Amino acid sequence: MILVTGGAGFIGANFVLDWLAQSDEQVINLDALTYAGNRENLASLSGDERHIFVQGDIADSALVSSLLAQHQPRAIINFAAESHVDRSIHGPEDFIQTNIVGTFRLLEAVRGYWSNLQDEAKQNFRFLHVSTDEVYGSLAKDDPAFTETHRYEPNSPYSASKAASDHLVRAYHHTYGLPVLTTNCSNNYGPFHFPEKLIPLMIVNALAGKPLPVYGDGQQIRDWLYVKDHCSAIRRVLEAGCVGEVYNIGGWNEKPNIDIVHTVCDILDELRPLSDDHSATSTYRNLITYVTDRPGHDRRYAIDASKIERDLGWKPAETFDTGIRKTVQWYLENQGWVANVQSGSYREWVEKNYTGRAA
């Protein structure tokens, strides 16, 4: 079996669902269920004995050690993290605790477990750490895309805490020989994406007739990958990646934020047209509102995915056009899910982050 951390969040839940759709190998899913963790993402696995959910913290050494001793996983995939840049600006402490201290404690527990494994089990064991392109910092317009050897220059508390976790993972391989793999992926989008991030926020705000808040000039560039393509890349790295190596994951798909927002509006105009009697808002684009920029906002990210393509033969299945259409469709079909995640603390977050960002 495998142990997944953070498997009730956006990417982790997609990973667990895809894993069990393709394999009968059991998954232990350790997740603290922070605001971003949601058991509803895994509702389709209810009663499925291949999925064992445990609510708990990766920083809880005793819990992690006992799970490892009891279940003897052959691999660990570490998704658990605080993941939102804006939240890291408002409150960095949780990022230090989970992304740095949590990853450290997890590595320590895993080192204890792994060092007592015998022969083949020890040799075949893998610790796969899921990280981000944001650790490499910001690119100028004409810079080449990030390769695996690009220097680390994290600019936000989020990316700095992820960078620290990547370094710890690297050090546990170099010093103790722990068989690690690290993946650094570009921005994901798709089902179960929490509506604090750009794409789901734009979809749910548009459907509610609320302003679509674009930071600064909207010309910041991100490199987008459909979440299920990220999951297939992780499965491939786990299966065939070279121990100690880093793999950048991306779909060669750079887009300015404003283009993303326009695309979301255009798909909604087609699939859920606004009624004619509101002529001022007859296209969702009229909801776009430029607001004060994010402090320290990285201008451009871009992933060079040559290594994973060449060495492991991985390629994404979706283009941006097919992936974004599926995503908008998913949100249209899952408005109950949206309503549930928008209760309580979500409203407080929206107020904290958007009130006071002058238009």
> Can residue 197 be called a binding residue for ligand TYD (CB under 6 A)?
yes
Active-site option among 158, 172, 189, 247: 158
Q: Contact 201/195 with Cβ under 8 angstroms?
A: yes
Name the amino acid, one letter, at 174: H
- Which residues are bridge partners to 256 per DSSP? 221
Question: Shortest approach of ligand TYD to residue 167 CB, angstroms?
Answer: 20
> Can residue 214 be called a binding residue for ligand TYD (CB under 6 A)?
yes
> Can residue 2 be called a binding residue for ligand TYD (CB under 6 A)?
no
Q: Based on the residue annotation, tell me whether 119 is a catalytic residue of this protein.
A: no
Question: Shortest approach of ligand TYD to residue 326 CB, angstroms?
Answer: 18
Question: Shortest approach of ligand NAD to residue 197 CB, angstroms?
Answer: 7
Q: Which two tokens stand for residue 7?
A: 């498997």
CA–CA distance, 65 with 304 (Å, rounded to integer):
37
CA–CA distance, 225 with 230 (Å, rounded to integer):
7
CA–CA distance, 107 with 94 (Å, rounded to integer):
18
Q: Which does 59 bind (CB under 5 to 8 A by kind): ligand NAD, ligand TYD, none?
A: ligand NAD
Q: Which does 214 bind (CB under 5 to 8 A by kind): ligand NAD, ligand TYD, none?
A: ligand TYD
Binding part of the chain for ligand TYD, among 12-20, 74-82, 193-201, 241-249 by CB under 6 A, reads 193-201
CA–CA distance, 312 with 236 (Å, rounded to integer):
7
> Can residue 186 be called a binding residue for ligand TYD (CB under 6 A)?
no
For residues 5 and 253, which CB has a smaller minimum distance to ligand NAD in the complex?
Answer: 5
Region 219-238 residues binding ligand TYD, contact defined as CB under 6 A: 220, 222
Binding part of the chain for ligand TYD, among 173-181, 196-204, 311-319, 321-329 by CB under 6 A, reads 196-204
> Can residue 98 be called a binding residue for ligand TYD (CB under 6 A)?
no
What separation in angstroms does the CA of 22 have from each of 53, 92, 313, 326? 19, 37, 19, 20
Active-site option among 31, 57, 82, 134: 134
Question: Shortest approach of ligand NAD to residue 251 CB, angstroms?
Answer: 12
Q: Based on the residue annotation, tell me whether 321 is a catalytic residue of this protein.
A: no
In this structure, the number of other CB atoms found within 10 A of the CB of residue 121 comes to 12
- Cα angle vertex 72, ends 83, 66, to 5°? 70
Q: Contact 78/127 with Cβ under 8 angstroms?
A: yes
Q: Which does 220 bind (CB under 5 to 8 A by kind): ligand NAD, ligand TYD, none?
A: ligand TYD
Q: Based on the residue annotation, tell me whether 133 is a catalytic residue of this protein.
A: yes
Residue nearest to ligand NAD (CB): 9
Q: Residues 85, 100, 169, 234: which binds ligand TYD (CB under 6 A)?
A: 85
- Which residues are bridge partners to 291 per DSSP? 215
Binding part of the chain for ligand TYD, among 32-40, 57-65, 211-219, 232-240 by CB under 6 A, reads 211-219
Active-site option among 31, 57, 133, 166: 133
Q: Which two tokens stand for residue 245?
A: 């190596």
For residues 161 and 220, which CB has a smaller minimum distance to ligand TYD in the complex?
Answer: 220
Q: Which long-range contacts (CB under 8 A, 24 or more apart) does 313-319 make?
A: 313/236, 314/232, 314/233, 314/236, 314/237, 314/249, 316/225, 316/226, 316/229, 316/232, 316/233, 316/251, 317/226, 317/228, 317/229, 317/232, 318/226, 318/228, 318/229, 318/251, 319/251, 319/253
What separation in angstroms does the CA of 270 have from each of 263, 265, 274, 283, 325? 11, 9, 9, 10, 11
Residues labelled as active-site residues: 133-134, 158
Q: Give the residues lining the site for ligand TYD (CB under 6 A).
A: 85, 187, 197-198, 201, 213-215, 220, 222, 257, 294
